[in-house]
């Protein structure tokens, strides 16, 4: 009897303890989402800018609409900027096929007006290969199918003929990473060892370019076939964005700007040389030379994205920092399937591994949106593991980590 009483007391105590959520023994393998828009949604909507241009609005009118309280004025844009075109690399190749062209390699990180002894000069069709060899860069050349090791070092500068760095036949230099080959016409390349916390010693390759023309000619953020006013608005926004970042070098990439969506997509020579339409983009850049967007007298961080969920996002909602020029405004063009066929609405499924990694959890048994911003974006989303541990993320952080198109989303049924 006494044993039974002890058991009854123990059972009552156990029943009185707080209970954790009860989940199936296996977490869902896939999570489904529905949403609208593409990108963070802060600042100018590129789909919206195109729609306004089609209606006859000017570039200045478009920019004043999406960046509240701003003006467009002229500033100096002749600075040299370093654009990262190769991040965390272990190898890359360089080659020029232009007849009569030359490639020159110099030791060290040579700045705009700097000079250094030339390690070697190669004719057209010769290949320079750079690769990590422990903590240094190994440089080899291939001429007529014969490969030779020619240099070891921590940093190098590559120049090609027909640029402001090296006289000679105007040429196009091709850089190959794996199977990706990109052509470059302007500037010079810096190749440097940078230590990564996650990967150790890696190569960072940057293209040094004059901001106002050489760099902007290669920015590939919108189709060059778009209306002139939309191209001009993009050129001014891109110039402003780059100008604000021209004053500091990021140590992680040895650059002012990444040549990817981390900053602005940079396509090199292929943008300005694009058949039929490349000249239209180049004209948009030159016709707006020096024009930048300012707020209270200073250039702004001119954020832009492809499209929105029907209204633009604020920087406060997206990143926790408010600015007077990133207020939310209507963007109905983004919700028009004719103007935005791919992202007026979308459906996505993400694996258990992707979701768990985003929250730094071993697994995710339950995922739910716990708050919504006034703009309709997800403010906070919460994941709970099988063991009952919950982690909450800002909606934009979750979008960025999982590569969902936007933070205008809902979580659908979890799929087993």
Helix, strand, coil percent content, the chain, rounded in steps of 5: 25, 35, 40
- Nearest-CA neighbor of 372 among 329, 407, 405? 407
Contact 395, 379 (CB under 8 A): yes
Integer Cα distance of 381 and 36 in angstroms? 17
In DSSP notation, 132-151 reads EETTEEEEEEEETTEEEEEE
Task: Kindly list the domain boundaries of the chain, sorted by start residue.
Answer: 30-36+345-415, 81-209
- Cα-Cα-Cα-Cα torsion 85, 88, 93, 97, nearest 10 degrees, comes to -10
Integer Cα distance of 363 and 355 in angstroms? 8
Sign of the C-alpha dihedral computed for residues 391, 306, 270 and 213 taken in this order:
negative
Q: Are strands 146-153 and 136-143 parallel, antiparallel or unpaired?
A: antiparallel
- pLDDT computed for residue 2 by the predictor: 43
Q: What is the pLDDT of residues 140-178, one digit of tens each?
A: 999 999 999 999 999 999 999 999 999 999 999 999 999
* Cβ neighbours, 10 Å, residue 170: 12
Q: What is the pLDDT of residues 264-280, one digit of tens each?
A: 999 999 999 999 999 99
- pLDDT computed for residue 3 by the predictor: 41
**pLDDT band per the 50, 70, 90 thresholds, residue 112:** confident
- pLDDT computed for residue 69 by the predictor: 98
Q: What is the DSSP letter of 379?
A: E
Beta bridge partners of 266: 219
Predicted TM-score (pTM) of this structure? 0.91
* Cβ neighbours, 10 Å, residue 160: 30
Find all residues with CB under 8 Å of 125, minimum gap 6, and list them: 95, 96, 97
């Amino acid at each position: 009897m006494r044993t039974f009483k002890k058991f009854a007391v123990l059972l009552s105590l156990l029943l009185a303890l707080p209970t954790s959520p009860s989940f199936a023994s296996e977490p869902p393998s896939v999570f489904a989402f529905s949403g609208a828009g593409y990108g963070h949604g802060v600042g100018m909507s590129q789909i919206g800018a195109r729609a306004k241009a089609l209606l006859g609005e000017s570039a200045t009118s478009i920019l004043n609409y999406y960046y509240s309280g701003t003006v467009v004025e002229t500033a100096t844009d002749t600075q040299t900027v370093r654009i990262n075109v190769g991040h965390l690399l272990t190898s890359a190749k360089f080659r020029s096929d232009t007849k009569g062209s030359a490639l020159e390699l110099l030791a060290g990180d040579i700045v705009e007006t700097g000079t250094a002894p030339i390690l070697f000069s190669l004719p057209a069709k010769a290949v320079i290969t750079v690769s990590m060899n422990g903590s240094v860069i190994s440089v080899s050349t291939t001429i007529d199918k014969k490969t030779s090791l020619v240099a070891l070092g921590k940093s190098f500068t590559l120049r090609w003929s027909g640029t402001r760095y090296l006289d000679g036949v105007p040429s196009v230099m091709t850089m190959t990473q794996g199977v990706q080959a990109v052509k470059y016409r302007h500037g010079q390349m810096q190749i440097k060892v940078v230590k990564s916390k996650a990967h150790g010693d890696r190569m960072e390759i940057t293209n040094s370019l004059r901001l106002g023309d050489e760099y902007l000619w290669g920015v590939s953020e919108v189709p060059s076939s778009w209306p002139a006013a939309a191209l001009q608005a993009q050129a001014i926004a891109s110039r402003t964005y780059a100008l604000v970042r021209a004053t500091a070098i990021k140590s992680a990439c040895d650059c002012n700007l990444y040549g990817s969506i981390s900053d602005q997509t940079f396509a090199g020579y292929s943008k300005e040389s694009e058949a039929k339409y490349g000249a239209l983009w180049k004209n948009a850049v030159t016709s707006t030379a020096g024009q930048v967007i300012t707020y209270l007298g200073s250039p702004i961080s001119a954020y832009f994205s492809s499209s929105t969920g029907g209204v633009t996002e604020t920087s406060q909602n997206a990143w926790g920092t408010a600015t007077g020029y990133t207020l939310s405004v209507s963007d109905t063009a983004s919700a028009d399937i004719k103007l935005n066929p791919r992202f007026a609405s979308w459906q996505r499924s993400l694996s258990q591994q992707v979701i768990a990694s985003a929250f730094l959890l071993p697994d995710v048994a339950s995922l739910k949106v716990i708050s919504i911003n006034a703009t309709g974006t997800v403010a906070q989303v919460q994941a709970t593991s099988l063991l009952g541990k919950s982690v909450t993320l800002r909606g934009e952080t979750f979008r960025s980590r999982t590569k969902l198109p936007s933070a205008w989303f809902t979580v659908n049924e979890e799929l087993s």
